[in-house]
Chains A and B, each alone.
Chain A
Amino acid sequence: MTPEQSNSDYDVTGTDTNRRQFLKNSLIITAGCLVTSLPFSSLAQNTASSADPLRAFIRVTQTITEHKQVNAELAAHFFNAFVKKVPEFTQQITPLGQLIQADMSAVTFAEKAQAAGLRDLLQQIVTAWYTGTVGNDYHGILVSYQQAWMYRTVSDGLVVPTYCGNGPLWWTAPVPDANSTAVIDAL
């Protein structure tokens, strides 16, 4: 199995170092300062002349997931994978982004995308962020393993498999409150 893209997974649940945290913070784009100066021009191989589609992609991501933080470097990797994998992606992402209005909820955005015939693309984008993969089958392009968003929903209680969470025999510790929304609210 040959991965198309091997993105470095630099922050490990429960084991962040200061350096890792600094790197993460330096690359996060928040809803309040969207795409000002993206520090990843060398990563966006196919996007040097298409800043607007990439900008739209990040806006779409933030609106449909209601996540406050999006890793810009990772977004560029996902964007490039979509360009490779989905032929109509570059043409569709800008109109999809143009459906977004201020303070729009994810559900409303999904309804507007449905009406515009763009719901499938929107679902592909959501799926990619949560699974770390662009594409639903074994021909999919792996963009990130450790940073797939599915793992973030339970990061207070479960490790990302393959990573060592909290040392030998750690799992005998009490479990967190499954009803807590703290880790989700922080996304």
Chain B
Amino acid sequence: MKKPEFTASGDVSADVVIVGSGIVGGMMADRLVAQGYSVLVLEAGLRITRAQAVENWRNMPFANRAGSDFQGLYPQSPLAPAPLYFPPNNYVNVTGPSAGSFQQGYLRTVGGTTWHWAASCWRHHPSDFEMQRKYQVGRDWPISYQEFEPWYCEAEYEIGVAGPNDPTMQSPAERSRPYPMEMVPFGHGDNYFASVVNPHGYNLVPIPQGRSTRPWEGRPVCCGNNNCQPICPIGAMYNGIHHVERAERQGAVVLSESVVYKIDTDSQNRITAVHWLDNQKASHKASAKMFALACNGIETPRLLLLAANKDNPTGIANSSDMVGRNMMDHSGFHCSFLTEEPMWLGRGPAQSSCMVGPRDGEFRKEYSANKMILNNISRVVPATKQALAKGLVGKALDEEIRYRSTHGVDLSISLEPLPDPDNRLTLSTDRKDAHGLACPDIHYDVGDYVRKGAEAAHDQLRHIGSLFNAKEFNITTSLNANNHIMGGTIMGDSAKNAVVDSNCRAFDHENLWLPGGGAIPSASVVNSTLTMAALGLKAAHDMAQRLKGGV
């Protein structure tokens, strides 16, 4: 077992240094340490426990839980803040026409934001890789879906994804291996909803999910605690912490509360070291042969800009001026209504099925595709708010809550933004964190492609509502963020207009990789995490090949 070597002063050397301990960093650490390399992982945030998060969630006031305060239950390091909204801490200041659509909720903690993800493990559609060639919008990937597909398989087996093996229920169906686990079975609500909408082409299918339908790598089978977001109480859902702990068991060292702020480069512009501040604000240096920054779609470009040095005056890896540009997220909205027949949503995991009919087509030349998730989060909380607001008392109150809980539907719709260099992350000139490091500013406009896509989705939803004879049909008017942060270290085929190549290796630095959401050049409409994990595994393979001298 080869381990990083520490000096008496706390400096360290390793074969590989990874900054960030989320799903991407943890999975890469596991892959590389398993091949005999010494690996150091530096994490800005705290190390927390599952039980602590569960208890904190239960102890939050009703208003926080009703408002989906998925951040507040996770203890935060005062030296590495994450965005908070109850009340807002303005750590990330978003401006522009769609500022309200980019209020992200990512965690800075060992294990990362998959502590509170929904475990949706979608693949990009093959068309998503060639948006410019096929639809004359957006950007193309420098590799095809077919070339990338084996890495999707790898990621699905690392996470332990439960998905449908019936091709008619897959999206996309182009696969070279079956899912590692059988799909999470539909509940009553999924079956009923599918029976109504699928004859009309909306194609409600099982969401491929990172949760267990049989015991998997120490994880129990899902017990339908219906609390995937913000914390799975029993660990049946995959979290990045699973790979972090697996890597540690093999000798990787993970240092929490270690905020990287400076990057050294040599005369060939290779990375020689990163510097971090510990929780006493003392600085240390980590030297290595290879480096990866996998800090999150906002924190990675922020660090690259913060670490500008004499030879890289506009930021590390930024000769293209693309670092921090092309920021994307699946801007979304919700549609709610009451059905005639009881749905009984809330039985099983928080997300189970999704309409993918409008995911691809020639219309993408004109406007955004969409996907529509049938949320399976218990409707008891919104039902109670609505019933109380009616002023009901006595048995009538109980009956109203029961009716609304069993007949309520909430659809979560995601849209695809196009990469736009003007949607840009920069460093604040007046806000700094407790280490004195500039906080991120972001300018954001979802663009007309998304706005037109929203209008098309509204028409589809009104049709769906009519199929259910819906009551209290409502579509939210503002677009919300979905925490699928992409684009800030965008992938391409040239250093002229991109930050990384198809292995997520920086064009400017031959031993620096920037895997994760920032590299993704086309948003698609599906959750980005599986793609991030696949990119991380592909990057780890490239690193290992180079460490072996095979490249």
Give the interface centre of B86, B395, B396 by most chain A CB atoms within 10 Å: B395
Q: Is B220 an interface residue (CB 8 A)?
A: yes
Contacts of A65 in B (CB 8 A): 393-394, 397-398
List the A residue with the shortest CB-CB distance to B341: A178
Q: A65-B393, A138-B86 are in contact. Are A184 and B402 (CB under 8 A)?
A: yes
Q: Is A25 an interface residue (CB 8 A)?
A: no
Q: Is the CB of B380 within 8 A of A154?
A: yes
How distant is B184 from chain A, measured CB to nearest CB, in Å?
8
How many angstroms from the CA of A136 to the CA of B65 in the assembled complex? 11
Q: Is the CB of B394 within 8 A of A107?
A: yes
Contacts of A149 in B (CB 8 A): 398
Q: Is the CB of A126 within 8 A of B61?
A: no
How many angstroms from the CA of A151 to the CA of B401 in the assembled complex? 9
Contacts of B402 in A (CB 8 A): 153-154, 178, 183-184
Contacts of A133 in B (CB 8 A): 61-63
How many angstroms from the CA of A132 to the CA of B63 in the assembled complex? 10
The residue from B55, B184, B226, B406 contacting A161, defined by CB atoms under 8 A apart: B226
Please count how many residues in chain B sit with their CB below 8 Å of the partner chain's CB atoms: 60
Q: A142-B59, A145-B59, A150-B401 are in contact. Are A159 and B393 (CB under 8 A)?
A: no
The residue from B64, B220, B378 contacting A158, defined by CB atoms under 8 A apart: B378
How many angstroms from the CA of A137 to the CA of B388 in the assembled complex? 15
Q: Enumerate B206-249 residues with CB–CB distance to A below 8 Å.
A: 213, 220-227, 231, 233-234
Q: Is the CB of B59 within 8 A of A6?
A: yes
How distant is A14 from chain B, measured CB to nearest CB, in Å?
11
Contacts of A158 in B (CB 8 A): 226, 344, 346-347, 378, 380, 405
Contacts of B378 in A (CB 8 A): 158-159, 161
Contacts of A167 in B (CB 8 A): 223
Contacts of A138 in B (CB 8 A): 60-61, 63-64, 67, 69, 72, 86-87
Q: Enumerate A16-37 residues with CB–CB distance to B below 8 Å.
A: none
Q: Is A163 an interface residue (CB 8 A)?
A: yes
Q: Is the CB of B227 within 8 A of A187?
A: no
Q: Is A118 an interface residue (CB 8 A)?
A: no
Q: Enumerate B325-375 residues with CB–CB distance to A below 8 Å.
A: 342, 344, 346-348
Contacts of A163 in B (CB 8 A): 225, 233
Q: A138-B61, A178-B344 are in contact. Are A159 and B401 (CB under 8 A)?
A: no
Q: Enumerate A130-187 residues with CB–CB distance to B below 8 Å.
A: 130-133, 135-142, 145-146, 148-154, 157-159, 161-165, 167-172, 174-175, 178, 181, 183-184, 187
Contacts of B187 in A (CB 8 A): 171-172
How distant is B513 from chain A, measured CB to nearest CB, in Å?
36
Please count how many residues in chain A sit with their CB below 8 Å of the partner chain's CB atoms: 58
The residue from A132, A159, A174 contacting B62, defined by CB atoms under 8 A apart: A132
How distant is A127 from chain B, measured CB to nearest CB, in Å?
6
Report B's interface with A, CB cutoff 8 A. Answer: 54-64, 67, 69, 72-73, 86-87, 184-188, 213, 220-227, 231, 233-234, 342, 344, 346-348, 377-378, 380-381, 383-384, 388, 391, 393-399, 401-403, 405-407
25 A-B pairs with C-beta separation under 8 A: A6-B55, A64-B393, A65-B393, A65-B394, A66-B393, A107-B396, A141-B61, A142-B59, A142-B60, A153-B401, A153-B405, A154-B380, A154-B401, A154-B406, A161-B378, A162-B54, A162-B225, A164-B224, A164-B225, A168-B223, A169-B221, A170-B223, A178-B403, A178-B407, A181-B399
Given contacts A138-B60, A158-B378, 20 further A-B contacts (CB under 8 A): A9-B58, A109-B393, A131-B388, A138-B63, A139-B61, A141-B61, A142-B61, A149-B398, A150-B383, A150-B401, A153-B401, A157-B347, A159-B225, A159-B226, A161-B225, A162-B57, A171-B185, A171-B224, A172-B185, A181-B399
